Structure 1
């Protein structure tokens, strides 16, 4: 578990510093982790929520050095809102993921979208941004959100994984924007990368054995998929019934979010012709 207190600039290696935002919750763990990349000039990855204490901590860690870019992995409100005031304070452009504003009134296990996010430049997959001694490459990883990017630091083999891979929990896939099939393809993409020695997620500890960790995430999703198919093999079920049987003892605050995850699996299974909806219930496809 991360032992860095809120607001402390913690050097993880010569090119990476982490600052924890004061927004802990059942959905963000200890809070959002903002990363500074570089030494003489900087990139700020996932500036986090627009909270005065966090912005003060970021400015103290920046310590007057030029900021070349403010980079967001995606636009949930625990990741990108501080980009705008940080741009004002530093003069740095916002460069990274595309904007995405989605009205979504369903129960979530993550923050809603930041409708004010306005990038100066959107990075395409494999596009790079460089500073003094550092090069960040965009790695498109849709699934958690359709606009999600990871950032690979070429000089030291670090991958900043945002919410695509987290160090404390499985990632939320919440339709309509969250897409289970896209998420699984993005995990497979990380498995094909052999240059990443460590992951720095936006929530939770660093992942020091990336392939083994991602293999476990893929296995977990396949286990959930198999569980759904077995339960529907006994007859049609609605999502609340599936959640009650799949998540025994779940914190009541997370029941709605678990339902969204089950829905994401069901949509994927339906697209593959394995299940079908019948009103509010789902069944094995005829």
Structure 2
């Protein structure tokens, strides 16, 4: 499960791509090593009423592109899959411009004493309504159902479009790379359970927040779950040979990795280690981890 190469430019930044009659996509201007070509905001519905999924970063150019895509249609909901800063900050200015309520994931406050990842989160996010699993956003032409999919973040939701079998997967399943699961909020056990939950469904297509649409969801899910299980076995083999620190494991598990991605790899290894420790399969001694 490697990372997809960036497609050749120009990318369709700011333009509305019509994916199906009820779904349009607008690409934000925040391309990067963790966002691929940028955050993809989805506009769902028709001229009688729209929902905007993952409004993206608080960027004037992107917000202007969204307002152009919306046109004269009433916006009935601004829905966020989670509150990383490339997903939810545009919700507030878009709500101010359209009068729409912010509906979707819960705000996130980390309360642990460990290494903090608050900097990645939108601490200004204030939803008007928090959706629980199975709750509905009802539009004149479309029905969106919230699915709780924790793992990438504890507050992550996906949204199922009942009329067409599409699933908006946020960062839970991406079209270009495996998802970063970064403790303390990211949880590998929850992430695997959420992937397995999607396996029980029959969604036709996935529309992720980053990367191309996924036309064979079940095939991708099998690959993602298999990839994580192989990483887990790799960690257990290394620790059976000798106790090891996270940097030493990253060096062996990710040879030649771009330096920009080393921290994410370390967090992914940590997420696996915490899950294995919780299951009683490994132990730790200071900075070292060892087989139980």
1:16-31 equivalence runs, <5 A: 16-31=23-38
Of 166, 169, 182, the residue aligned with 1:174 is: 182
In the TM superposition, what whole-angstrom CA distance separates every residue of 1:92-111 from its partner, at most 9, and x where no partner exists? 00000000133899597x97
Q: Output the aligned Cα RMSD.
A: 1.6
Whole-angstrom CA distance in 2 between matches of 1:45 and 1:247: 34
2:60 alignment partner in structure 1 = 52
SS of 2:227's partner is: helix
Equivalent residues of 2:56, 2:87 under 8 A apart: yes
TM-score, scaled relative to structure 2: 0.94
Whole-angstrom CA distance in 1 between matches of 2:282 and 2:125: 37
Whole-angstrom CA distance in 2 between matches of 1:189 and 1:83: 28
SS of 2:120's partner is: coil
SS of 1:207's partner is: coil
1:1-286 equivalence runs, <5 A: 4-40=11-47, 41-102=49-110, 112-194=120-202, 196-285=203-292
Equivalent residues of 2:11, 2:37 under 8 A apart: no
Equivalent residues of 2:85, 2:120 under 8 A apart: yes
SS of 2:87's partner is: coil
Q: Which runs of 5+ in 2 are unaligned?
A: 1-5
Residue 22 of structure 1: CA displacement?
0.2
Residue-pair matches, total: 283
Whole-angstrom CA distance in 1 between matches of 2:14 and 2:119: 21
SS of 1:77's partner is: coil
Equivalent residues of 1:101, 1:114 under 8 A apart: no
Equivalent residues of 1:107, 1:257 under 8 A apart: no
- Structure 1 residue ranges (4+ consecutive) displaced by more than 6 angstroms after TM superposition: none
